[in-house]
Structure 1
Amino acid sequence: MRKLAIMAWQPEVITGDHLGRWCVVKYDHDHYPGIITKVEDGNIEVNCLHKKGINKYYWPSPRKDISWYDDSQVLCLTEEPNAVNKRYLQLSPATWRLIEEQM
């Protein structure tokens, strides 16, 4: 279980040090991995992947899905998702288990 805490964790506050890091945000009772692009006053801007099934995500095209979220919507920071093929990505099994427990 110690390895899980290192791979994915929920910070108390997101700061400028987290720019460029991968995270998973909660929105409308679902979760979306993405990259933190801006941090301002307890809010973060995230470039999110779209969901395509169980633990399967893709980058939307032609327009990016960039939105602002409250710090409290961050489920965890995580590593970059793994490529399933040329189009789809998935979170590591450890991160996926952590997210399922929180949802």
Structure 2
Amino acid sequence: MKNKQDIENEVQQTLNSVDSLQQLEANAFLHAKIANRMVSKQALTRITYNKLMVRLAAVLCLFICINGISFYVLKQKPNTANTKNYTGADAFANAYGLNNSLNSY
């Protein structure tokens, strides 16, 4: 085991070595490289975002077109000669066949 004096000497040497360190100098082109990488990643992100927005807009237009077409194709034209308009209790009675007197007891 080391004595107290040896430990203090090593601590003092470590602190002295930290004081004598020189500050590192960065590469002269480091800032330009970092800026270039940031700009290229932003451009890639913008392109991806634009592609996504175009796809979503196309899907929305397709959805609207399908709904419009299905509305006009599936729209039933009422046959006014054979159809009667029932409302309220008459509509309920007609739907469940309660209007006829054939099955009344």
TM-score by length of 1: 0.16
Higher helix share: 2
Higher strand share: 1
Higher relative contact order (CA 8 A, sep 6+): 1
Bigger radius of gyration among the two:
2
